[in-house]
Amino acid sequence: MDEQVHTETTPIKILNTGILLVVTFLVLKLISFFIVPKSRKRLPPVVQGWPWPPFIGGLFRFLKGPILMLSEEYPKLGSVFTLKLFHKNITFLIGPEVSAHFFKATESDLSQQEVYQFNVPTFGPGVVFDVDYSVRQEQFRFFTEALRVNKLKGYVNQMVTETEEYFSKWGSSGEVDLKYELEHLIILTASRCLLGREVRDKLFDDVSALFHDLDNGMLPISVLFPHLPIPAHKRRDRARQRLADIFANIIASRKSAKNSEDDMLQCFIDSKYKDGRPTTEGEVTGLLIAALFAGQHTSSITSTWTGAYLMCNNQYLSAAVEEQKKLMQKHGDKVDHDVLAEMDVLYRCIKEALRLHPPLIILLRSSHSEFSVTTREGKAYDIPKGHIVATSPAFANRLPHIFKDPDRYDPDRYAVGREEDKVAGAFSYISFGGGRHGCLGEPFAYLQIKTIWTHLLRNFELELVSPFPEIDWNAMVVGVKGKVMVRYKRRELSLNQ
C-alpha cells in the first residue's frame, strides 16, 4: 500500500516542483526588470548570417569577401555594425565621421599588437609586434630617421639609377607584362635603398628567393594559425633564419671595416635606443624585413594600377606628359628629389589609383576600453571593451558622400578648389591609414613610383593591349589579377610639341 501511494504521489511532486521553478523564474525576471537597472549600452547592429546563426553565418559572409559583405551591410546597417566570428566580435567603423577614434586613440585604448601577431614569425623576434609599445615606438623612430628628407634625397638618386638601368634593357619596341616588370624593378630599387649595396650587387638572387619564401609563407590561414606546421610555414621559417645569417655577416663586415653606406640598413645599424643601447643584428634584420614587406607590394601594385588607369584615360595621360615637358624645359633631364616634388599631376594620378585600389583593404585594432561613436545621421553607439575594431580603406575610399562619382578615376578631385580627400576631415582618404599609425613609408613610396613613371612617360609610348585588369581579392595584399600586357615604343619626348 505504501509503495502504491509513493508511486502515485511522485509524478505530482515532480509537477509541483516544476511549476514552482517556473513561477520562481518568472518572479525573478519581473524583479530584475523593475529593480535591476537595464543596460544603457547602445550596441551596434549585428550582421545576420541567415540561415545560419550569426557567429557561423558571419564567418561564411566574411570569407566570401569582406568588401562584398560591407557593400551589402552598409546600406542596411549604416556606418557602424558588428560581425560575430565564433568568440570574436569585429565592429566596423566606416567613414571619417566614426573612425577618428580608430586612428587617433592611444595604444592603451586601441592596440595593434594583438591583431597583428601573425606577422611575428615573418618579421622575427624582438621587433615591431613582438615587443611592447614603448620599444615599438623607439623602433618606429628608427624608421622615421631613416626616411628623413636628407636620406630620401640619397635614395632617389639610387632609384633613378636602378630605373634607368632596368629600362635600358627594353628594346625599341615590344610587348611586356607591366605587372611583372614593375614587381621586379621595385624589388631592385628596394634592395639597393633598403637592404644595401652588398645585397644588390652580390646576393640579390639569393636574397630575392628567400624573400619570396617569406612572402609565400604569409597565407590567410597564417592570420589564425601563424605557427601551423605546413610546408609554406616551414619554408618561411628556414628563409627567415637564412636571412638572419646573411645580414649578420654583412653587419659584422661593415662594422669591422668601419664602412658606412647610404641605405636604410646603415641607418638601423647606427640607431640607438634612448638608454644608449645599440640595435642588435637580429633587430636590424627584423626591421629591414618589416620595411621591405611594408613597401614592396604596395609600391608595385600601385605602380601597376597607375599605369593601367593612365593608359585608359588619355586626358590624364596627356596631362602627365605635358607636366614632364614643362619640367624638362625647366630642369633639363635631371631627376632628383626636388624635381619629383614638383610633379603635382603625376602625384594626383598615383593618389587616385591608390584611392581606388588600396593594397590593405582592412585595418584592425583590439579595443582595451569602451568608447562611443556618433554617425553622421546622429546615431550613437557604444563599442565594448574586447571587440576587434576594423575599418576598410577599400570601402571608405568610395563613399559617395565624400567622393563624387566614387568609382570613376578622377585625379582632379584632389586639385585646389575640390580637395575631396579633405571634405569630411582628416580621415576622408585613408589609403595610407592615418593618425598615430599612419604609414611612415608614404613619402618613400611616392618617390619610388614617381621615379618609375617619370622615366616611362619621358621615354616610351605605351598602350594597354590586354583588358583592363581585375582585382585579385584572394591575395593577402590585394593587388592586380593576372597579366597586364602593354605594347611599348621607345621615343624621345619632344619639348616643342
- Residue 389 pairs with which residues in a beta bridge? 91, 365
Is residue 439 annotated as involved in ligand binding?
Answer: yes
Cell 576600453 -> residue: 369
How many residues are recorded in the chain?
497
The CA distance from 494 to 458, in Å, is: 9
Q: From the CB of residue 8, how many other CB atoms can be counted at a distance below 10 Å?
A: 9
Cell of 386: 574586447
Specify whether the CB–CB gap between 61 and 69 falls below 8 A.
yes
Tell me which H or E stretch contains 472: strand 470-472
**Cβ count within 10 A of residue 464:** 18
Three cell numbers written together for 18: 516544476
The DSSP bridge partners found for residue 111 are 366
CA atoms within 13 A on the CB side of 200: 21
Element (H, E) at 245: helix 231-257
Beta bridge partners of 83: 90
CA angle 155, 157, 160 (to 5 degrees): 110
CB of 397 closer than 8 Å to CB of 355: yes
Would you list which residues are annotated within the binding site? 439
Would you list which residues are annotated within the binding site for heme? 439
